[in-house]
Each structure stands twice: as C-alpha cells, then as structure tokens.
Amino acid sequence: MLSKPTFAVLVSAVTLTALTLTACKEASAPPPQQTPQVGVVTLQTQPYALTTQLPGRTSAYRIAEVRPQVNGILQKRLFSEGSDVKAGQQLYQIDPATYQATYKSTQATELSASALAKRYELLVKDKAVSQQAYDEARAAALQAQAAVEQAQIDLRYTKVLAPISGRIGRSLSTEGALVSNAQANALATIQQLDPIYVDVTQSTKELLTLRKELSDGRLSQAGDNAAKVRLKLEDGSTFAHEGKLEFSDVSVDEGTGSVILRAVFPNPDHLLLPGMYVQAELVTGVNQQAILAPQQGITRNSKGEATAMVVNDKNIVEARVLQAERTSGSTWLVNAGLKSGDRLITQGLQYIKPGVEVNAQPADNLGKPQSEPKPASSEGATESN
C-alpha cells in the first residue's frame, strides 16, 4: 500500500502528463482555414464598332496608254518623263507635212465641187441640166466636204495629246522613230494617282459570318462609318487620309476563296503608288451589346478553348467556357459565355478552383481604365486571305 507522499507524487505525474498531452494536441491542431480573396471586374455591355483588317494592293484610279492615231516620223517629245501632265496637253509632235498637203488638196477639191453644185442648183430650175446631174454634183460636194474634215482630223492627230490628267511614265519612243496607228507598243502611259484605288481581299467565310450576324441582329449597320476605310502602310504608319468603300466584286476567286473589295482614297501627296502592299481597316458593324473582358481574366484550357472564372451571387467560383475570337487592346471581345453583371476574376486565380467560396474585392491589376477602347479587329493572315 502506497504511502500518502508517494500517492501525491504519482497523481502529480499523471496530471502533468495529461496536461502535456493536451498542450501538444492543441499545438498540433491546424489553424482554421481562411476564405481566399480574389480581385473581380463587373462586366457591362456597351456599343462597340467592329473592324476588320484586310490585305490589299493599290492601283491607279485611271490608266491611259498614249498611242499615235496617224502614221509618221516622231519630231518632238514635249514632256518630262515622270512629270504630271494635264488632259489635252501636247506630248508629241508627228511630222505634219504630208497631212498639211492633203488638207489643202481636199480644200481645193471641196471648193470646186461646192461651186459646181451651186451652179447646177440654178440651172436645174431652168431645166438647163438634168436633176440627176444636179444630184451628182451635190453628192460630190458633200464627199469633198467630208474629205476636208477627215484631212483636218488627221492633221490634228499629228499633235499627240494627253487623254487624261496624271503622272506620265517613261517615253517608249524617241525623236526620229517611225510610229504607226497600228503599232503594238504605246508611246507612254499616264496614271492618275489622286485619287487612288485600294483593292483588298476578304474570305467568303468572313463575309458569310458578317452577313449572318447582321441578319440575326447581333450586329447592326455602322451607318456612315460602314463605308469608311483606313490604311496601314508597309512601314507600320497610318495613312493620313480616310477612304471610302466603293463596291464588292460579284465573283469569288476559286483559287483563294475570296472576294475583292475596292476602296478609293485621296492621294494629294502621291504617297501611295500603284502596286504598294497595304492593310485596310474596314468598319464592318456595331455590336450594341458587346462584352469586353480584360485579358488578365481569360485563359486557355488544354483544348485551346477560352475560359474564365466568375464569382456568382453566393460568392462561389464558377468556370465558364467562352467564345472569344477577337482582341481589342487589353481586352477580349466575348461573343458567348459571359453576360452583363458577371463578376470576372482577374486577380488571385492561382489560389482558387471551381466550387470554392471566395471573398471578392474590386481588382487592382488592370491599370488605368480605357474610356474609349480601340475597335476590335480581325487581321487577315495573308495577302490573298
């Protein structure tokens, strides 16, 4: 039987052991889990102009080949190669000697025939000549008059005039050369560069998608802006003048599956030259209920689909699969998967997963808000597109 001192020591030891075990258990217990905090952006719909960037080439507004209309020796060239010429300006002089002689000869013939016809006109009244003789004399006078007019035309054609205003290229004939109205080569070529055409190509797939969106009401006509086009040049600069879309071709290129769109641009400084490669930006329509989502909140899954995390009204994280094919600056234009009022998570995505409750706070990782975001664009992959 234990004595009282021994029993007291044993009780103290047991108590100390129990307290130690309790303290260790309390020390090893994990702290209560905290609700993760995320930054969100509340999405709102807004009208948005959609643009399409298409590759294209410039071409002259008008092209005229300068050709001789009479035969002869080229005497003079009266212009500077590469200069601007006006319609009606004389460019070449063909030797006019033979045509002047022919003109004078026809004038003499016409004078004689007209005089004879006038005499017969008086004599036929007195029946001094037959009606047939008078008719023949009158016909001969008209033929002589026509010959004078033809000779006058040929003489005028010895002065080769510019058919249009524009910039003339190099001369393909020199003084002393024999030219003919049936020759294959032109004397020179004039191109009107102001205004200038820009021919761009658009795939039929894009064209059909645009028309379907317009017919379904997802897009509305852009009004006057629908006909306006801007250009980006090969060096990346933007052309200073705005152009207008004139027409769309009625046939499809079987090789590329695309149609030709033609725009016309003012070109007062002749910065655009025929054959230059450009990127044309066309306003295709206006999405009145556009959703623009910050790129920080859009990711891609293993299938390559655009995805986003949103916080529902119960502060629970939901995963969404989106249709987002176009970018606009630092945002994505979302066609499906998000709606107005959704709280998109842009901050703290690495700490959450679908189904988790979160503490949603306004995001601070977006920088300065854009008051007027740039139009969404769709760039053509190649020139032929």
- In this prediction the pTM is 0.64
Q: How many helices (H) and strands (E) does the chain have?
A: 4, 19
User: Rounded to an integer, what distance in angstroms lies between the CA atom of residue 145 and that of residue 109?
Assistant: 9
pLDDT in tens, 99-128: 999 999 999 999 999 999 999 988 888 888
User: Strands 37-42 and 359-362, how do they pair?
Assistant: parallel
| Torsion angle in degrees (nearest 10) through CA of 291, 295, 298, 302 | 130
The token pair at 347 is: 């901050």
User: Rounded to an integer, what distance in angstroms lies between the CA atom of residue 253 and that of residue 202?
Assistant: 10
Examine the pLDDT at 9 and tell me if it is beyond 80.
no
pLDDT-derived band at 149, boundaries 50, 70, 90: very high
Q: What pLDDT does residue 349 have?
A: 87
Examine the pLDDT at 195 and tell me if it is beyond 50.
yes
Q: What pLDDT does residue 92 have?
A: 96
More confident residue, 254 or 37: 37
The overall average pLDDT reported for the chain is 82
For range 218-235, the mean pLDDT:
68
Q: What pLDDT does residue 274 have?
A: 93
pLDDT-derived band at 261, boundaries 50, 70, 90: confident
pLDDT-derived band at 316, boundaries 50, 70, 90: very high
State the Cα angle at 355 between 349 and 359, rounded to 5°.
55
User: Rounded to an integer, what distance in angstroms lies between the CA atom of residue 170 and that of residue 326?
Assistant: 47
Per DSSP, helices labelled H in the chain are: 4-28, 97-125, 131-157, 204-216
Q: Is the dihedral of CA 184, 190, 193, 195 positive or negative?
A: negative
Examine the pLDDT at 70 and tell me if it is beyond 50.
yes
pLDDT-derived band at 11, boundaries 50, 70, 90: very low
Examine the pLDDT at 27 and tell me if it is beyond 60.
no
The token pair at 21 is: 């075990």
For range 129-141, the mean pLDDT:
92
3-state SS string for 137-184 = HHHHHHHHHHHHHHHHHHHHHCEEECCCCEEECCCCCCCCCEECCCCC
Q: What pLDDT does residue 373 have?
A: 38
State the Cα angle at 241 between 325 and 81, rounded to 5°.
125
Q: What pLDDT does residue 383 have?
A: 38
